[in-house]
Structure 1
Amino acid sequence: MSFNTSRRARASVGIAALAVVGLAACGGSSSTEESGAAMDTTDYSKWCDMKSELQGKTVSIYTSIVTPEDAPHKESYKEFEECTGITVKYEGDKDFEKNLPQRAQSGNLPDIAFIPQPGLLATMADTGKMVPAPESTAKMVDEHFGEDWKKYGTVGDTFFAAPLGANVKSYVWYSPKTFTDKGYEVPETWDDLMTLTEKIAADDSSAKPWCAGFGSGTATGWPGTDWLEDTLLRTADAETYDKWVAHEIPFNDPKVAEALGEDAKILKESKYVNGGFGDVKSIATTTFQDGGQPILKNKCYMHRQASFYAANWPKGTKVAEDGDVWAFYLPSNGEEKPVLGGGEFVAAFRDAPEVKAFQTFLASPDWANAKAKATTSGGWVSANKGLDPKNLVSPLDQQSAEILQDPKAVFRFDGSDMMPSAVGAGTFWTEMTNWINGQDDKTTLDNIEKSWPSS
């Protein structure tokens, strides 16, 4: 949307104010004492200084985050609304991914959308209706997020969208008590992980080292895609992963075949899986929600699944380092720490001072810490380096934040979410299901490669 003359004049004031905000927010508002309770990491004075410019304005949000997860989001904006005079209008939609492109066609776009896939972000950029992020937001991202995250909010050479929330997929769930009782240590390298797997198989004939579930209704197979993506980041490198996702190397490249071969050493080895459920083929029919549950019954020892799996443990299960279940980082043999994960990005569709201010606020440590405090039941984290992990309620969320903030972390977004939907949400899912049901590695990768769209 273009400005008329009077709006351009007002916008120039807003942009100048935002430049100050970008610099001020990069200061020490997120500092944490080395010991003691979490500090108050929000400083709204810089946002309140903009009230004369923003009073009475409205910013609309459109997102896939719906009840009950929407409540902490709305709570996290309240102080910003009060001190700026902006009203934030929130709209959640379970069919967001389908409806957002349709709304672009009809001209019914929100001011801001929380987009959970870089592929969809690129699609929306192609409409020509998405507005590049302001300089103040870019400065905030440069200061408080890694280059990897900024890249995922960039289409072509244009930076559009700052990161919002995040999740960590590079996790292995286990029982701390069982490990202690058996004298097992959390593995620090991939080789250690395989050694531990072999030892568990030799020690306990009544259980299996691993359990897994690929079942997810029409999306059956997606947990298998996560296995391959996580392993490729460890057997190859981030550059290879990027080329594979972008189809700059074929899906059946030898390096990808090597990674799938490593997965087969665990998932297709009958002495290692599928604890509590049956043979290897039971993985395809076991739902991902049920996949890790045998850990609580001492029928399996480890389950590779994302941080969000914490919500699937039965009520009353203590998720903590000294609890019933906990998760350790899926190790690698290298110096770097590859991290597979996902998240949302804040895209704008209206060029106005109030929209810029809200975009910049959402990229700041002020918002990240406000959101952490508002999420009283846990289950949310951000890669914002200004987030004080002590403000997060859940110990797992705290650990996830520490993993994301680790200087050695090399974050890569879930590959299937960035591939063409015919592959990422199609043949990749179905062929990984065929693979776990007995199809060989080469046929699996060849079939997916053949399905890649020609244009």
Structure 2
Amino acid sequence: MRRPITTRRTTAAASAAIALALGATACGGSSPGAESGQELSGQTVAVAGVWTGSEQKNFRKVLDAFTEQTGAKTVFVPSGDNVSTYIGSKIEGGNAPDVVMVPQVGVLQQFAKEGWLAPLSKKTATTAGANLADVWKNYGTVGKTYYGLYFKAAHKSTVWYSPSAFEQAGAVEPKTYADMLKTGRTLADSGLPAFSVAGEDGWTLTDWFENIYLSQAGPEKYDQLAAHTLPWTDASVVRALTTLGEVFKDKQLVAGGSAAALRTDFPGSIAQVFGPEPKAAMVYEGDFVGGMAKDDFGKKLGEDAKFFPFPPVGNGKAPVVSGGDAAVVLKEGKNQKAAQRLLEFLATPEAASVWAGAGGFLSPNKDVELSSYADDTTRTTAKSLVNAGDTVRFDMSDQAPAAFGGTKGAGEWKLLQDFLRDASDPRATAAKLETAAAKAYKN
């Protein structure tokens, strides 16, 4: 899934961290496990991932719990945003980490096809089979082999809003997409535009489209479009773009109109709703919006910042679009046994509960107690994600080749930005999307 905020680290720093980890392994040294005679005392597992800041800090707490249980030391190495390039360079240099937290289905599939991944242990597969919906195991499977354990998830079907703005306008949480637009116009009439749209970051626009498409066209066509077995020129795509255009074309609904939206990045869109000078009443994006409203602007979730589920479109069902990070084991890692043992731990509700209590986290694991989460708002989103079961669909752009679904200024990101600028011809946009998709999937 796309990271709302990322901080890059240099490859040199990351390489040094892995080198230190491997050096620690070679030298042995004391550890909690060594003192208590635990199974992996004296061993070290190097874990790479995109997480920085509070995400990395909280994941380290999970790794510390693994150390306490097994005696193995761990080191976390930031990979930067381009996980594929980073891991490829580490494998080529003979300095691969043991485990990678992969943020995109497409990247996981690429790693498997390159022959970089080791199948997960039977214990991990059995545990995951019992506590994850089949859809999550399917996203971690390539060619009938289970490679990726989904540990962290995002709920990307949440619309966040300012309760004070709703109260002032006499608005209530909408139950349908049509009602949401009507509510937006009511808010605008009271003096505050409906939506802050982060058009500068094209990934947010793909999420808008995906929620509309999943609800309107249904999961079967969603899967076909994600795999590009259905062309983007299909009538269902044109219909979804037309529906999305209802928002993009309406200056009452988009704060500052499309021109302003195209200059607004994702953090800026949160500030426009929950910052000191509000410019909009609502912002659509994932559950992580709540964390930013709380951490960056001091909002109390459930009081100063609330959300409602992305509403069903037409006669469709309410969508649940998700993203997530899957743990994989690299064949080239130095410590296969400890790496597999780490994933066996990550498959348990105990591991997920560590991060759930720290905040900024959702688990697709149905055995994680809701009481593990720190607040009612997060409990609600976690319950919604788990209850969706196999109807959850992974972020479509994250399933696509990066050239189409994950490159700034190109592919779907760029074409939906163009559509935000001028939504007058959905059919022409669909044709351009198909041209770009056909080229990317072919390559």
What TM-score comes out, normalization by structure 2 length?
Answer: 0.82
Structure 1 counterpart SS, 2:74: strand
Structure 1 unaligned spans of 5+: 1-46
Measured at CA, do residues 51 and 386 of structure 1 come closer, stay the same or move farther in structure 2, by a change above 3 Å?
A: farther
- Tell me which residue corresponds to 1:173: 160
- Tell me which residue corresponds to 2:361: 380
Matched, 1:329 2:309: yes
Match of 1:305 among 285, 299, 302: 285
Specify the code of the residue in structure 2 equivalent to 1:332.
P
- Tell me which residue corresponds to 2:343: 359
Measured at CA, do residues 330 and 70 of structure 1 come closer, stay the same or move farther in structure 2, by a change above 3 Å?
A: same
CA contact (8 A) 1:207 1:300 kept: yes
Structure 2 counterpart SS, 1:166: strand
Matched, 1:236 2:217: yes
Superposition deviation, residue 120 in structure 1 = 0.8
C-alpha distance in 2, partners of 1:291/1:411? 26
Match of 1:423 among 393, 400, 404: 404
- Tell me which residue corresponds to 1:118: 105
Measured at CA, do residues 88 and 435 of structure 1 come closer, stay the same or move farther in structure 2, by a change above 3 Å?
A: same
CA contact (8 A) 1:257 1:445 kept: yes
- Tell me which residue corresponds to 1:42: none
C-alpha distance in 2, partners of 1:263/1:95? 29
Superposition deviation, residue 250 in structure 1 = 0.7
C-alpha distance in 2, partners of 1:71/1:270? 41
Match of 1:72 among 58, 64, 86: 58
- Tell me which residue corresponds to 1:349: 330
Per-residue Cα deviation, 1:310-347 (whole angstroms, up to 9, x for no partner)? 35437443232222x22211111568542112111010
Measured at CA, do residues 91 and 295 of structure 1 come closer, stay the same or move farther in structure 2, by a change above 3 Å?
A: closer
Measured at CA, do residues 51 and 255 of structure 1 come closer, stay the same or move farther in structure 2, by a change above 3 Å?
A: farther
CA contact (8 A) 1:61 1:114 kept: yes
C-alpha distance in 1, partners of 2:156/2:66? 31
Specify the code of the residue in structure 2 equivalent to 1:391.
S
Match of 1:147 among 121, 134, 152: 134
C-alpha distance in 1, partners of 2:193/2:356? 37
Query: Larger deviation: 90-99 or 153-162?
Result: 90-99
Specify the code of the residue in structure 2 equivalent to 1:149.
W
Match of 1:134 among 121, 129, 141: 121
Specify the code of the residue in structure 2 equivalent to 1:384.
N
Matched, 1:285 2:272: no
Matched, 1:223 2:210: no
Per-residue Cα deviation, 1:271-305 (whole angstroms, up to 9, x for no partner)? 3222xxx2233211222222243434564322212
Query: Larger deviation: 388-397 or 263-272?
Result: 388-397
Superposition deviation, residue 369 in structure 1 = 0.7
Q: How does 1:8-27 map to 2 (within 5 A)?
A: none
CA contact (8 A) 1:336 1:410 kept: no
C-alpha distance in 1, partners of 2:41/2:264? 53
- Tell me which residue corresponds to 1:23: none
CA contact (8 A) 1:403 1:409 kept: no
Superposition deviation, residue 240 in structure 1 = 0.8
C-alpha distance in 2, partners of 1:389/1:86? 29
CA contact (8 A) 2:141 2:147 kept: yes
Query: Larger deviation: 409-418 or 126-135?
Result: 409-418
Structure 2 counterpart SS, 1:120: helix
CA contact (8 A) 2:321 2:392 kept: yes
Measured at CA, do residues 84 and 287 of structure 1 come closer, stay the same or move farther in structure 2, by a change above 3 Å?
A: closer
Structure with the larger helix share: 2
Measured at CA, do residues 357 and 270 of structure 1 come closer, stay the same or move farther in structure 2, by a change above 3 Å?
A: same
Superposition deviation, residue 174 in structure 1 = 0.8
Structure 1 counterpart SS, 2:250: coil
Matched, 1:411 2:392: yes
C-alpha distance in 1, partners of 2:80/2:387? 33
C-alpha distance in 2, partners of 1:68/1:320? 18
Per-residue Cα deviation, 1:392-412 (whole angstroms, up to 9, x for no partner)? 224443232111112467211
Measured at CA, do residues 51 and 238 of structure 1 come closer, stay the same or move farther in structure 2, by a change above 3 Å?
A: farther
C-alpha distance in 2, partners of 1:386/1:239? 27
Matched, 1:436 2:420: yes
CA contact (8 A) 1:214 1:285 kept: yes
- Tell me which residue corresponds to 1:31: none
Structure 2 unaligned spans of 5+: 1-32
Structure 1 counterpart SS, 2:173: coil
Superposition deviation, residue 235 in structure 1 = 0.7
Superposition deviation, residue 88 in structure 1 = 1.9
CA contact (8 A) 1:211 1:291 kept: yes
C-alpha distance in 1, partners of 2:65/2:282? 42
Q: How does 1:197-212 map to 2 (within 5 A)?
A: 197-201=184-188, 203-204=189-190, 206-212=191-197
Query: Larger deviation: 118-127 or 388-397?
Result: 388-397
CA contact (8 A) 1:173 1:292 kept: no
C-alpha distance in 2, partners of 1:67/1:292? 18
Per-residue Cα deviation, 1:68-125 (whole angstroms, up to 9, x for no partner)? 4322222223233133222223222325512112223333322111111111111111
Match of 2:47 among 61, 67, 70: 61
